[in-house]
Amino acid sequence: MTATRQPMAPEIAAAAADWIVRRDGDRMTAEDEQAFALWLAEPAHSDAVARLERIWELLDGEEDEPVAELPRQRVARGRTRAFGPHWSRWSGRGALASGAVAAALALVVGAAQDWPMRMRADHMTGIGERREVMLSDGSVVQLDSGSAIALDYTGSRRGVRLLAGAAMFNVAPDPARPFTVDAEGGSVTALGTAFAVRDEGGRATVTVTRHSVRVEGAGRAAVVGEGQRADFGRTALSGPLPAQGDAAAWTRGRLVVVDRPLGEVVAQIGRYRRGYVAVTGPAAAIRVSGVYDLDRPLAAFNSIEKSLGLSSLRLSDRFIILRR
């Protein structure tokens, strides 16, 4: 039996792509070549390069094989540049090439439904979808793109578990039945309120837009008031801290950013688009502020690239790397 290959970690995939582009674009200095050799000494790194090179070969029409290997992130459409020797031969073949690339990349990034999540969830949204859900007690939940919740309502408690993504809660008053959202091993209990909770992977963040909540994490508790936020989870609780930007802006299709790293911002916008997107090198640390249209993520990526003077490497609208 053939062992199942594990998906590449996003940071390794991005670094491998960056090295390939620099190598194939004749942009390597002697110091770069030495650094690349040291980087390749790590088995996970050399494997990532080999797998990406195989993907380029498949995109160039060679023998078919399953390639659902890249981490699942989102991507933008825009102008193309030569992406190594294989992409340079595809770039002039018009609609046929574009369709073939898109089909191959659908395999690469994986578009399969998350059936284990679907089995656990009572309500969930697809990529790029937002949905409003009315609960049995009159509370309203707005689900962000790629989000899921499970309900646990009993006679004495109104429980919601955030399984993935983010949700905005407008809670109906009921002093006899506390309303609690569980996420990443911690919890948020409404104190007559509206608040947003986002699963960040390993921790969760709550931002309060009206009244206050009680947050529990790592065996401690804190009250977070209107205009404040807190990070929490099984092993940590920090806050309350001043809220950054407009935490509810995504419910209106906007992302409001105040002095955040570009890599983080691109990842957030990427939640609204299928495919793969990454920011590599020093560009990932650039601090940015702005308002981005989440219903037009491709336009947001194009605006970021142009306004910051970045370059991009693209395969159709399913694979994009931004760099300086």
Distance of CA 26 to the CA centre of its chain: 32
Q: Give per-residue pLDDT as tens, 221-256.
A: 999 999 899 999 888 898 888 887 677 788 888 888
- C-alpha distances in angstroms, 252 versus 101, 117, 125? 33, 26, 16
Q: How confident is the model at residue 26 (pLDDT cuts 50, 70, 90)?
A: low
Whether residue 6 is contained in a domain is answered as yes
161 and 237, same domain (yes or no): yes
Whether residue 315 is contained in a domain is answered as yes
97 and 150, same domain (yes or no): no
Whether residue 195 is contained in a domain is answered as yes
Average pLDDT over residues 3-18: 62
Whether residue 252 is contained in a domain is answered as no
The residue whose two tokens read 């990406």 is 52
What is the rounded CA–CA span in Å between residue 168 and residue 198? 9
What's the total number of domains in the chain?
Answer: 2
151 and 78, same domain (yes or no): no
- The confidence score (pLDDT) of residue 35 equals 87
Q: How confident is the model at residue 207 (pLDDT cuts 50, 70, 90)?
A: very high
20 and 89, same domain (yes or no): yes
What is the rounded CA–CA span in Å between residue 208 and residue 190? 10
**For residue 7, is the peptide bond before it cis, meaning its omega torsion is within 30 degrees of 0?**
no
Whether residue 256 is contained in a domain is answered as no
- The confidence score (pLDDT) of residue 133 equals 94
What is the rounded CA–CA span in Å between residue 307 and residue 323? 13
* Domain that residue 34 falls in: 1-114+268-281+295-324
43 and 104, same domain (yes or no): yes
Q: Which residue has better confidence, 211 or 22?
A: 211
DSSP β-bridge partners for residue 210 = 194
108 and 135, same domain (yes or no): no
2 and 108, same domain (yes or no): yes
- The confidence score (pLDDT) of residue 66 equals 37
Closest CA to 210 of 198, 223, 194, 196: 194
Task: Evaluate if residue 40 carries a pLDDT over 50.
Answer: yes
Whether residue 72 is contained in a domain is answered as yes
Whether residue 286 is contained in a domain is answered as no
2 and 107, same domain (yes or no): yes
Q: Which residue has better confidence, 314 or 306?
A: 306
Whether residue 250 is contained in a domain is answered as no
- The confidence score (pLDDT) of residue 192 equals 78
CATH number at residue 194: 2.60.120.1440
85 and 21, same domain (yes or no): yes
What is the rounded CA–CA span in Å between residue 5 and residue 47? 10
Q: Rounded to 5 degrees, what angle do the CA atoms 110, 115, 118 make?
A: 120
Q: Give per-residue pLDDT as tens, 71-128.
A: 333 333 333 333 444 444 333 333 333 333 343 444 444 434 456 777 788 899 988 8
Q: Are 277 and 316 in contact (CB under 8 A)?
A: no
What is the rounded CA–CA span in Å between residue 282 and residue 293? 25
- C-alpha distances in angstroms, 278 versus 5, 65, 297? 22, 25, 14
Task: Evaluate if residue 214 carries a pLDDT over 60.
Answer: yes
Q: Give per-residue pLDDT as tens, 277-295.
A: 878 888 888 898 888 888 8
230 and 138, same domain (yes or no): yes
What is the rounded CA–CA span in Å between residue 287 and residue 301? 15
25 and 98, same domain (yes or no): yes
- The confidence score (pLDDT) of residue 189 equals 95
104 and 139, same domain (yes or no): no
DSSP β-bridge partners for residue 162 = 149
pLDDT averaged over every residue in the chain: 76
